[in-house]
Structure 1
Amino acid sequence: MASKSLPAGIIGAALTPFTEDNRVDRARLDPLLDFMVDHCDAVSLLGAEVSEYQILGEADRVATLRAAIDTVDGRVPVLAGASSPDVAEVLRLAASAADAGADFIQVLMPRHPGGNPARVGDLVAFFERIAASSPLPIVAYHNPSQGTDTDAATMVELSLIDGVVGFKESSRDLTKIGRLCAEIDSAGHARYFTTMQPLLTTLLLGGSGAMMPPPGTLIGAQVVGALRDGDHERAAQWQRHFRLFPSRWAKYGLTTTMKAAMGALGHDLGGPAAPFGPMPEADIELLARQLDSFDLPSPLVAPATDGALAKGLSS
């Protein structure tokens, strides 16, 4: 396995637009990816956070990854979603992702097949087996709503596995974030990323950045660019946008909220996969007003080049 390092900054987690019969809508996916690569430091495709990958069979996942990687065309590194509790399936997806030109695989910390959280030894064995055969480096993804919640000590242990080069951790727990910034990222074992709400805190504590879906990525890129420029006040001003967005609409779930937000900004991705419904129009209107107050650039307009959407932090 070739040694690769994740870039610091913002990893954009791509949403998946669907047709009415739940096929991936390439006509809407390709412009989304073009938008994301203009301000994200890397992109995650069919990852475990907001992509609705569970709707797709393995063959469709592979076909979508290949097409999306072709659209990205090497402009930024690609994390290919390869989540499954079945190691054999993870490795098949990893092989397909490598063949298509991905740079990393992203793998959810799974629950036990019986539905209970996986034990520490289970998680270590799971990632050791993947790392032993994967052609691509691994970004381990912690999401308690979909996989196993685990403590900081376990994540530090996973970071010592050769081939695990990054973590996306979703707890928003400041004590845990501080420890993992110190014992994973600052210790040089792997990159450590959180999510929108603790982005600035993560960066100030020595973490690498955050993974998030658009249009949160637009705000995140502003935070990262301001901090890179040494402008802590501007970074804090942009971070404050995450106080109410997207949490005010949390009852609809992150995927539905962010698809609605993209639509409000002029990039229609539709709603969640059928038969699940979109956000009601009244709440979309409230969301649109909230986003309008941020004065964000349109997703359909090329980003400015004056530093407003500057990529990345120094590695």
Structure 2
Amino acid sequence: MVANYEEVKSRLRGSMAPVITPFTKNHDVDYEKLAELIEFQIDNGSHAISVTGTSGEPSSLSVEEREKVMETAVKTVNGRVPVAPGTGSTNHAETMRLTKSAEEMGADAALVIVPYYNKPNQEALFKHFKTVADSVEIPVIIYNIPGRTAQNLQVSTLARLNDACPNIIGVKESNKDFEHVNRVLLNCGRDFLLFSGIELLCYPMLAIGGTGSISATANVLPSKVAELHDAWFDGDVERAQELHYDLMPLNDVLFKDTNPAPVKSALGMMGKIEPELRLPMDVPSKDLQQEIYETLKQYNIKAQYA
């Protein structure tokens, strides 16, 4: 059980890498490779680890597989950095189960997405998140990604949840509406954790008081994503700006198809995984794979592409 949310909040900062879920050629979850990817993240400076978020293809996993991925992450990290797995689903009961499982496994927080496809209204969203948060003592970070969920969690609803639930400590905003993002901190307080889920807004969100980012690009180049945050928090604004623009070509190419397909292609070229996805997801086009390869070479990343 977590008693001191301020202590947890002080640790959940910087680059939280949303690690992909690797599959074998037979499309089984490759838990050994998952552990290796997590070690790669920690070795390259990532400040926290998340799994089974958007980059982790949760809708392609069974509930049991999601629990085993979360358990693998918590055990592999072993307290070295915070772990905040994605526990949300379009199904309320599944979300309750997965969030409770994360708590029991010893995760530091749970990342709970706005339910996708069914488009609940704001009052329903309030009830959903409040019920989930009230069922556990683990800190909860809400995940707002209207481009995927077809529903935007309004700032007024988020502020209500912040007031009603002491363990709702922050939000991941994959929201291109920067006015909305600014109003999150205005209405929820400057100590509310604000993570960027839009790669080109990772640096701008830090400038308005954000906590960090949960960026798919960290799968491929974790050291530079982490360095951007380190530079900002160290007061080296010029270096943070430089890294922001330096990362832009990689950010762009990794989102020319639906995440995480390009990320998995990149990691496959780097020799870290089999670049497999489960249908209905599939690999990027040959032209995009070639572009990914050429972009990796620009960053001096060792890669092979036949």
Considering the TM-score relative to the shorter chain, is it more than 0.5? yes
Q: Return the offset for 1:159.
A: 2.4
Q: Return the offset for 1:109.
A: 1.1
Counterpart pick for 2:145 among 129, 143, 146: 143
- Which residue of structure 1 aligns with residue 204 of structure 2? 201
Query: Given residue 152 of structure 1, which amino acid in structure 2 is its aligned partner?
Result: V
Counterpart pick for 2:68 among 47, 50, 63: 63
- Which residue of structure 2 aligns with residue 93 of structure 1? 98
Return the alpha-carbon distance in structure 2 between the equivalents of residues 185 and 272 of structure 1.
40
Q: Return the offset for 1:210.
A: 0.8
Cα-to-partner distance string for 1:265-300 (whole Å, 9 max, x where unaligned): 34234132246432234432322222332346x79x
Larger helix share, 1 or 2:
2
2:25 and 2:274 in contact (8 A); partners too: no
Query: What's the RMSD between the two structures over aligned residues?
Result: 2.3
- Which residue of structure 2 aligns with residue 271 of structure 1? 276
Return the alpha-carbon distance in structure 2 between the equivalents of residues 120 and 55 of structure 1.
27
Correspondence 1:96-111 to 2 at 5 A: 96-111=101-116
Query: Given residue 175 of structure 1, which amino acid in structure 2 is its aligned partner?
Result: E
CA gap of 1:198–1:185, structure 2 versus 1, over 3 A, is: farther
- Which residue of structure 1 aligns with residue 186 of structure 2? 182
1:264 and 1:287 in contact (8 A); partners too: no
Correspondence 1:158-237 to 2 at 5 A: 158-160=161-163, 161-186=165-190, 188=191, 190-195=192-197, 196-213=199-216, 214-215=219-220, 217-237=222-242
Return the alpha-carbon distance in structure 2 between the equivalents of residues 150 and 105 of structure 1.
17
Query: Given residue 99 of structure 1, which amino acid in structure 2 is its aligned partner?
Result: E
Secondary structure at 1:141 match in 2: strand
Q: Structure 1: where are the runs of 5+ without partners? A: 300-315
Counterpart pick for 2:297 among 292, 295, 307: 292
Secondary structure at 2:49 match in 1: strand
Query: Given residue 75 of structure 1, which amino acid in structure 2 is its aligned partner?
Result: R
Secondary structure at 1:261 match in 2: helix
Query: Given residue 86 of structure 1, which amino acid in structure 2 is its aligned partner?
Result: N
1:41 and 1:77 in contact (8 A); partners too: yes
Identity of aligned residues (%): 26
The count of residues paired between Structure 1 and Structure 2 equals: 292
Secondary structure at 1:218 match in 2: helix
2:24 and 2:276 in contact (8 A); partners too: no
1:185 and 1:206 in contact (8 A); partners too: no
Return the alpha-carbon distance in structure 2 between the equivalents of residues 127 and 110 of structure 1.
10
- Which residue of structure 1 aligns with residue 122 of structure 2? 120
Q: Return the offset for 1:216.
A: 5.1
| TM-score, length-scaled by structure 2 | 0.86
Q: Structure 2: where are the runs of 5+ without partners? A: none
Secondary structure at 1:273 match in 2: coil
- Which residue of structure 2 aligns with residue 258 of structure 1? 263
Return the alpha-carbon distance in structure 1 between the equivalents of residues 266 and 223 of structure 2.
12
- Which residue of structure 1 aligns with residue 134 of structure 2? 132
- Give every structure 1 segment of 4 or more consecutive aligned residues whose post-TM-superposition deviation is greater than 4 Å: none
Cα-to-partner distance string for 1:35-62 (whole Å, 9 max, x where unaligned): 1123111111112x11111122212221
- Which residue of structure 1 aligns with residue 46 of structure 2? 40
Query: Given residue 236 of structure 2, which amino acid in structure 1 is its aligned partner?
Result: D
Structure with the larger RCO, 1 or 2 (CA within 8 Å, 6+ apart): 1
1:9 and 1:221 in contact (8 A); partners too: yes
Return the alpha-carbon distance in structure 1 between the equivalents of residues 189 and 261 of structure 2.
32
